[in-house]
Amino acid sequence: MSNIFGVAAAAGQFALQLAIIKPDRSFSGSDGTSIVAQVTVEEMHDDDTEITDHPVEQGATISDHAFVMPSGLVVTAGWSDSPNNSSVLNQLLGAAANTSPVIQAVVGAVEFIGGAINLLSGSQSAVNSAYQALLTARANRVLFSVSTARRNYQNMLIKGLTLTTDKNTENAMLIRITFRQILMATTQTVTVPDSSVMANPEQNGATQNMGTTYPVPAPNINVSALP
């Protein structure tokens, strides 16, 4: 009978572990930068189509054109300085901390100890390392490839970082990362033939410097009627 209860308890712990494990996400930069979140809480996808409006003097507004706007993505990701933050025990404590103030204090103490260990050892914490990597990538305008649960994004630029730190999150970070897609244009250089071999060089010839020019009144215009 005890074996049955042991198996049931193990199965319950495993089910609870699956329920509280959050998916992690990695952001791969064009410069080789790779940022891996310990936990991903939320992903918000934004896809808009701009429909142009042209008001007219009478009648309804004319909407005769539409174009696709760059995609947007907002990822809420988290990092923690807690030691062994991937263990089953800490995952169970994290789930229980949502309902128990006592366990919240215990988890906070564990995070404090993790921060103290990093301070005494002289190593930079996981939270500060991740935050500095995000700040550097934003400042350098690094293009990222982002894989989410729903789709993959290319040419994503960090538009903004939103972070709040209080007494409960001194050694943890829950940050909102706003990405926006960059639509890349391709250009090429062509050689224009000399205007002497063109049939209509005034229409398709190369630009020439004609010196300083001044506007003159157009012919057949009533200058006195101008305001």
Instruction: Write down the pLDDT at residue 223.
Output: 64
Buried b (16+ CB within 10 A) or exposed e, 70-83: ebbbbbbbbbbbbe
- Average pLDDT, 10 consecutive residues per value, the chain (227 residues): 49 43 70 86 93 86 90 92 52 48 48 46 74 93 90 93 87 92 86 73 73 78 67
Which alpha helices (DSSP H) does the chain contain, by range?
A: 2-20, 88-96, 101-121, 126-139, 201-204
Instruction: Write down the pLDDT at residue 19.
Output: 40
Buried b (16+ CB within 10 A) or exposed e, 154-168: ebbbbeeeeeeeeee
Question: Distance of CA 90 to CAs 6, 84, 87, 169, Å?
Answer: 21, 7, 6, 16
* Whole-angstrom distance, CA of residue 124 vs CA of residue 115: 9
| Among candidate residues 72, 106, 87, the one with its CA nearest the CA of residue 38 | 87
pTM summary value: 0.58
Query: Is-contact 97 103, C-beta < 8 A?
Result: yes
State which H helix or E strand residue 39 sits in: strand 39-46
Query: Is-contact 103 96, C-beta < 8 A?
Result: yes
Instruction: Write down the pLDDT at residue 201.
Output: 72
**Helix 88-96 vs helix 101-121: angle between axes, to the nearest 10 degrees?**
130
Instruction: Please give the full DSSP string across 46-90, using - where no structure is assigned.
Output: E--EEE--B--SSSSPB---EEEPPPEEEEEEEEE--TTTTSHHH
Greatest CA span in the chain, whole angstroms? 109
DSSP structure class, residue 150: S
* Whole-angstrom distance, CA of residue 215 vs CA of residue 77: 60
Instruction: Write down the pLDDT at residue 121.
Output: 43
Query: Is-contact 175 74, C-beta < 8 A?
Result: no
Instruction: Write down the pLDDT at residue 136.
Output: 93
Sort strands 26-29 and 34-36 into parallel, antiparallel or unpaired.
Answer: antiparallel
Instruction: Write down the pLDDT at residue 168.
Output: 80
Instruction: Write down the pLDDT at residue 101.
Output: 55
